[in-house]
A = this chain, B = another copy of it.
Amino acid sequence: MLRSVSAAASSSLRAGTARAARNLSSSVTEPAEPSIVSSTFPGPKSDALKRELDSIQNAGAVQLFIDYAKSTGNYMVDVDGNAFLDVYTQISSLPLGYNHPAMVAAVSDPRNVATFVNRPAMGVLPPADLVSRLKNALLSVAPRGLTEVQTMACGSCSNENAYKAVFISHIAQKRDGKPPTAEELQSCKYNLPPGSPRLSLLSFDGAFHGRTFGALSTTHSKAIHKLDVPSFDWPIAHFPEYKYPLEEFQSENKKEDEKSLAHVEELFHEYRKKGAPVAGLVVEPIQAEGGDRHASDDFFRRLRALAAKNNVLFICDEVQTGCGPTGKFWAHQHWGLDDSPDVVTFSKKMLTGGYFYKSQVRPKESYRIFNTWVGDPTKLLLIEEVLKVVNTEKLLDNVKDTGEYLQKGLREVSKRHPNTFFNVRGRGTFCAVDLPSEKDRNKFITEMHLKGVHCGGCGERSFRIRPALTFQRKHADILLDRTEKVLSEKF
């Protein structure tokens, strides 16, 4: 399949592919290729269910109804019986694809029933195995120097609580061991300073960090996500806007780095002056919802240093980039930092939300970072299984190999369709390509579905690729083949 597109890439790496395929237990039950029986997207059964759901809630965002029991590995089967190759994986949230044997075994194990039945208030009454699970699962992949971890239920809650921890830490440093004043304790109950301080958290133009009020104040990707919702007055810095291919625009892109860093420094100054100093900044290693906007490793190293110099805590939001899709477990590990971020937030592929942090970000008092559930032990149980598979099946190597192969293939497609499919960019299998307009991008995504590939968009006109960590060259071949066909036949 797709000999024409990927022949060159294949020849040099074929031996590696075969070896990878043998190692991945998830691939054994997959279909050989997509199979589409509906002539429309969505098919009639999905369409009927969507209309029914719309009588209960706004169902406008629904694409398809899925038969999760029939889905397997990299293939997602919908209620009309269409089997799609899935390069979107539930908005980038399935590490091992569908029904991975290790996860099925964990769920089916009678010894785990009580974990699924009895959800604890984990902050007060943790299960007996919490410490071992945190150590065996989450802390086994903690970024260097981040020795502590807090679980949360979702990505937005992870960021919200990371921001809170940063504000609390900022004021603790100012208090220098002294207890809060009576005025602080009284005023905070009424949302007033000094107890509810005028502090701010810097984010970047085009960023996405979630949709609850704190997280949304740092989100700037799409107007419809923010419209009509009151927001904090927190500073928003310019994010580098790169031109592609990178090797042709080195000096222009370098200037973008300078522009962004200068703006960050200016905003630190401006918000200090206006009495709402910046306690922390939050940044994604790749602006994902914003349209897969990348910045250089050098930019991030300098940003990290700038934050440290200004006593601003550095939060790295790895909700979408974390858990391996860029070829390292955490995307910020590509940067080569001397000093790790102070906080790294996660969710999605990690199955549980949460954040890692340096010990100086720990609140001294209990109940300050807290809620009823603070996460869910069933997700810890599952991520422990996932991390075992990532190790035993060497999935980071698989991502690097497939990613290199896929990006090479995408650049070849782009060379043949330079006006409709351009700005190929990515790290590992975390890739994106631009089309001329939002309309073209949406048409492309619909046509890809009709050819058996489930995929999604991001930003204004980008096509994003977010496969499982088990995505191999044989899957990339199908993706590249269908991409080529859609562009040749429909554009």
Chain A contact residues, CB within 8 Å of chain B = 49, 52-53, 56-69, 71, 76, 79, 90-91, 93-94, 98-100, 103-104, 107-108, 110-111, 113-121, 123-128, 130-131, 134-135, 139, 147-150, 153-157, 160-161, 163-164, 167-168, 170-172, 180, 184-186, 188-192, 195-200, 205, 210-215, 217, 220, 222-234, 236, 347-348, 351, 362-373, 378, 382
Contact = CB atoms under 8 A, between A and B. Distances in A.
A315 to B, nearest CB: 15
Contacts of A113: 69, 104, 107-108
Contact of A120 (B68, B120, B222): B68
B90 A120 contact: yes
A191 B94 contact: no
15 contacts: A57-B148, A63-B125, A65-B130, A67-B128, A68-B114, A71-B118, A90-B119, A153-B153, A153-B157, A161-B211, A171-B228, A185-B227, A189-B205, A191-B236, A197-B228
A233 B186 CA distance: 15
Given A120-B68, A120-B90, A200 B230 contact: yes
A78 to B, nearest CB: 8
Contact of A128 (B65, B149, B226): B65
B196 A53 contact: no
Nearest to A376: B376
Contacts of A127: 65-68
Contact of A224 (B52, B149, B365): B365
B226 A189 contact: yes
A196 to B, nearest CB: 4
A410 B366 CA distance: 31
A185 B221 CA distance: 12
Contacts of A68: 114-115, 117-118, 120, 127-128
Contacts of A66: 120, 125-128
A197 B163 CA distance: 23
A103 B211 CA distance: 32
Given A58-B365, A195-B227, 15 more contacts: A57-B148, A62-B126, A63-B124, A66-B127, A68-B120, A71-B118, A91-B124, A171-B228, A184-B227, A188-B226, A188-B231, A191-B226, A211-B371, A212-B212, A225-B367
B220 A190 contact: yes
A199 B230 contact: yes
A123 B61 CA distance: 6
Given A66-B127, A368-B224, A378-B378, A148 B56 contact: yes
A98 B123 contact: no
Contacts of A366: 58-61
A154 B371 contact: yes
B213 A163 contact: yes
Given A234-B191, A371-B155, A118 B94 contact: yes
A369 B52 CA distance: 19
Contacts of A161: 211-212
A315 B53 CA distance: 23
